[in-house]
Every structure is written in C-alpha cells, then in structure tokens.
Structure 1
Amino acid sequence: MQKKETAKEIAKEVAELPEVNFSDYGDVRFLHLGTEWVQGSMLRDAPYDIELEYVQRMMAGLLFMDAAGISKKHAMQLGLGSAALTKFCYKKLRMKTTAIEINPQVISACRLWFKLPRDDLRLHVINADAAVEIKKAVHQGTVDLLHVDLYDHEAAAPVLDSAEFYEDCRDLLAEDGVMTVNLFGRDSSYVQSLTKIAEAFGPEAVWAFTPTREGNTVVLAQREPTRPERAELLQQAGVIESRWDLPAKKWMRLFKPVV
C-alpha cells in the first residue's frame, strides 16, 4: 500500500521547489526558475507560436505523422516549461493535449504570464511527478506525440534520465507514437542519455538533430522504427512548413538516424 503524504509533508515539498519568475526582453517573455537560466519563452504578440529553436525541433515527430489526422491524435508533455509545446499542440494542431508538471508554481505562472488556457475537454494539465504519473494505466498506449523536457533550475542534466524511465515513456506511446527529448549539457552527458534511449527503444528507432548554438540536442525515438525515404520526409516537411509555419525543411539538413 502506498503511503499517503500529510499536508505538512506536501507543503515542505512545495517550499523546496524553486521560485518561478519571468523577464521581458523586447517582444519576448522568458520563464526562469529562480536563476538566470531560461526555462522557456513566449512571443508576447504571438503567444501560441514557438519562439525557441530547440523547442521548434521538439515538434519533429510531425515528420512521421499524417498531417490530415493530427487533430485526432494525443500529445503529452513531461515538463511544462513556459507551455510553448502544450499551447502549440492544443491551439495550433487542435490535438488532445496532456501536460505533467511537478511544480504548481510553474502551472500558475503559465496561466498568469504565458497565456496557457484553462483545462477543458482537450486540455489537461496534471500537477504530479512525471516519473510516477506516466506509470498509471490510464496513460499507457495513448500518446502519439510525447515531448520530454525535464530540467531543474540549474539546467545541468535531465532530472529523469534512466533506461527504465525511457522504457516507461515507450509504454506511453501508441503503435505509431513518437517521443522527442531535449538533451542539454556536456558531451558525456549527451552520450550517456542517448545510450539509455537506444537501450529502451532500440538503436534503429532513434534519430537526432545536430546541437543548437545554445547546446540543446533534440533526440527522437519511434515506438516502432521506420526509415522513410528522404524524399518522403522532405514532402512532409513542406506540409509542416505550409500548415504550421515551422522550419521543417531546415530540419532535414540537421536531422538523421543515429545508426
């Protein structure tokens, strides 16, 4: 039987979470967790667009999906950040969207300062530890587009980064589901994370971008590996650019299988 936490224990855990604040620079608003590190951003005049390059790349799972059926799919984010991915999937792609965020202050900040809509029939923001929440049977096999971006306030390495965690992520995915992960940190940390993802998904299921200038490397893993022809991916990239204004043709110069 799982031990229930007391109100005092829960209050202590919340108090230990980092303070959430924001800063504005020109037309961009940035989210911070008590440090100068940027945890997310928003274009103040276009709050449902994706501003940061690496976050745009987190949408690369669209390359493997039929654009005509996107609105019938389910997207999930582990780690809310500034809610850029959550808002894009919900508002622009019209997907059923679930986000899991451990810090209730981040959820409140996204709704106060970053235009995150309230929950409704298609949007569900869950205040929970992602490592625990994703094990629940209700989520298993339901997710078509999974985004994993789990960093603490120091942004040094992923908070959840074991082969077992990535196996749990794979269990979330529908048959044609795709996961993208933001890996940020030292080269050795990246290689270790990539090895764990390949262990959980199989090396033939894993693709990766070259790093951004800031050092973010987005890795993609498919529930069931496929190797579409480059021409097919380029065609899909053109559809993504025309429909959702993401730089998907540029992705094709920076994105390839790891084996």
Structure 2
Amino acid sequence: MIRTQELDHPTLSESGGVRYLHFGTEWIQGAMRIRKPSELFLAYTQQMMAWLLFLTPSKEDKLAILGLGAGSLLRYSLKHTPCQIDTVEWNPAVTSICQAYFRLPGNVRSHITHADAGLWVCDPQQRGQYLALMVDLYDGEAQGPVRDSLEFYQGCYRSLADQGIMTVNLFGSHHSFEHNIEHIRQAFKGRVLLLPEMDEGNQIVIAFKGSVLSLTTQELLDRAEHVQVKYEGLPAVRWARELLSQRSVEQLDV
C-alpha cells in the first residue's frame, strides 16, 4: 500500500469573499469564507460532522481527520469541540499553504502528521484511539478517493474507539462509489447510513462501530435540534429527517 504518485501542487483562487484550494485543476479541494474562517462553507463539509447526531465529544476524546484540504474540518472542530485532533495529510505543501492562506490555527490540541493515510490507519498505535474519523482523500483529478480498499476501511474501523463513527466523502455518481460502499459495509459489519447526494455530487457515508445505537424518531429529532443549536451552521434537523425518511421506521437502529 505504498503511495508512489507525485505530490500535487496546491494552488489558490478567490471569488466573492471565498478562498478556494485546488491541486492545479479546476476541482475544488476546499474553501474558506475569508471573513468567517471557522465556518464550514461547503455543504459536504457540514455533513462530515453528522457523527454529532449520535455521539457527544468530550475533552477526553480524540478526533482524526484524513485529508487536510483547506483545513475547514480542523478549524471547525477546534472551535466547536474540546477534543484533541490528529490530522493526516500526505502533502506537506498543503499544510504550508493552509498555514499561509487558510488561517490554519496553531493549537496544543492539534497535531498534523505527514503520512499516507492508508499506512497510518494500519499502524497499531492508532488502534482504538478515535471517537470520530473524518475521511476526505482526493488528489488533483478528484476521480474517487485515493484510498478505498477493504484493508484501508478495516484500518479505519480498528482506529476507532469501542464506540466510534467514521464519515467519508464519496461521489455518488462516480464509478468508485459502489466498491467504496461495499468495502465500508464489509469493514463496518453493514452498519452504514448514507446522507442524500449533494448538488455537487458529494455523498457522505456514516459508518458505526460499537454497541447498537437505538433512537426513536423523537429522540433523534430532539438530539438533532440540540446539535443545530449548539454547533454553528449545521442543519442537523434536516439530516435527521432525511435519515428517517430513508428507513421509514419509528426507531433508528445503527
């Protein structure tokens, strides 16, 4: 699983008060509203925080982000959770450009490792460490995740704590979608939910480890209302309703 491709060269663009990260192509790898750097500007990055519908982070917990992008998830998580956050980024140039242009915060709770995420999740040191794992691994071509094997997702599963959740950014209309879903289902024993595909084509997968979470419709909606009030900019009630409509059940078991 050694990564051999050349490092992508990060580039910038700006429009309407928003700064975008690219890898030398038109594909957007991340974005930041310049006047509100901690905001999750792209809708799919908001959905990457959907694990908050089911788990409440504490200062004893750790989060992991695989793929720094423009640093949106890291900035948001540092502002809105008390957790220690480990970020894995393959390309040191991405970290440098985030520090220079995307207000990447220096924080004692944040640690960035430059490594192949596929190797990192298989390191025994990561086993059982993380409450939530947010996975967004794309190169300049943005043609499906660069890490998508069953072995990779099994490593993600092992990296989670006894009770943990992984969110993954996929492209619903891309040919890579089906085999990613199959590998995630195998690694997470079928405990998978999907949020609806976004206009941009992104579709977020939520995968669960640990004891089964059983929530009545009202419990899930109440929790979603709490998340929506507490965590700035997250349309959690809409997420909860979308998940419930897919199942058409009075109780959501995941």
SS of 1:255's equivalent in the other structure is helix
Number of aligned residues: 244
Aligned equivalent of 2:18:
28
Are 2:223 and 1:236 aligned?
A: yes
Alignment of 1:48-59 (within 5 A): 48-59=38-49
Counterparts of 1:178 and 1:164, CA distance in 2: 17
Q: Is there any run of 5+ residues in structure 1 with no aligned partner, and where?
A: 1-12
Identity rate, percent: 38
Are 2:65 and 1:83 aligned?
A: no
> Once the 2 structures are TM-superposed, how far is the Cα of residue 119 of structure 1 from its aligned partner?
5.0
Are 2:59 and 1:71 aligned?
A: yes
Aligned equivalent of 2:205:
219
Aligned equivalent of 1:104:
92
Are 2:80 and 1:92 aligned?
A: yes
Are the counterparts in 1 of residues 221 and 241 from structure 2 also a CA contact under 8 Å?
no
Q: Is there any run of 5+ residues in structure 2 with no aligned partner, and where?
A: 248-253
SS of 2:226's equivalent in the other structure is helix
Counterparts of 1:22 and 1:187, CA distance in 2: 25
Are the counterparts in 2 of residues 180 and 221 from structure 1 also a CA contact under 8 Å?
yes
Picking from 126, 134, 146, the partner of 2:121 is 134
Are the counterparts in 1 of residues 64 and 134 from structure 2 also a CA contact under 8 Å?
yes
Counterparts of 1:168 and 1:188, CA distance in 2: 23
> Once the 2 structures are TM-superposed, how far is the Cα of residue 145 of structure 1 from its aligned partner?
1.0
Are 2:140 and 1:153 aligned?
A: yes
TM-score by length of 2: 0.90
TM-score by length of 1: 0.88
> Once the 2 structures are TM-superposed, how far is the Cα of residue 211 of structure 1 from its aligned partner?
0.1
Counterparts of 1:154 and 1:187, CA distance in 2: 13
**Residue deviations 1:210-239 (CA, integer Å, cap 9, x gap):** 100010000000112423222211111111
> Once the 2 structures are TM-superposed, how far is the Cα of residue 185 of structure 1 from its aligned partner?
5.4
Picking from 150, 164, 170, the partner of 2:151 is 164
> Once the 2 structures are TM-superposed, how far is the Cα of residue 23 of structure 1 from its aligned partner?
0.9
Aligned equivalent of 2:237:
249
Are the counterparts in 1 of residues 122 and 152 from structure 2 also a CA contact under 8 Å?
no
> Once the 2 structures are TM-superposed, how far is the Cα of residue 255 of structure 1 from its aligned partner?
2.7
Which stretch of structure 1 is more off in the superposition, 213-222 or 179-188? 179-188
Are the counterparts in 2 of residues 76 and 147 from structure 1 also a CA contact under 8 Å?
yes
Counterparts of 2:123 and 2:137, CA distance in 1: 19
What residue identity is the alignment partner of 1:18? D
**Residue deviations 1:177-233 (CA, integer Å, cap 9, x gap):** 100000015354212211110011011x10111100010000000112423222211
SS of 2:59's equivalent in the other structure is helix
Higher helix share: 1
Aligned equivalent of 2:250:
none
Alignment of 1:181-196 (within 5 A): 181-184=168-171, 186-196=173-183
Counterparts of 1:148 and 1:57, CA distance in 2: 12
Are 2:9 and 1:19 aligned?
A: yes
- Deviating beyond 6 angstroms after TM superposition, the runs of 4 or more aligned structure 1 residues are none
Counterparts of 2:99 and 2:203, CA distance in 1: 28
Counterparts of 1:37 and 1:188, CA distance in 2: 18
Counterparts of 2:184 and 2:67, CA distance in 1: 18
Are the counterparts in 2 of residues 119 and 125 from structure 1 also a CA contact under 8 Å?
no
What residue identity is the alignment partner of 1:62? L
Aligned equivalent of 1:7:
none
In structure 2, do the counterparts of structure 1 residues 129 and 119 end up closer, same or farther at CA, with 3 Å as the change threshold?
farther
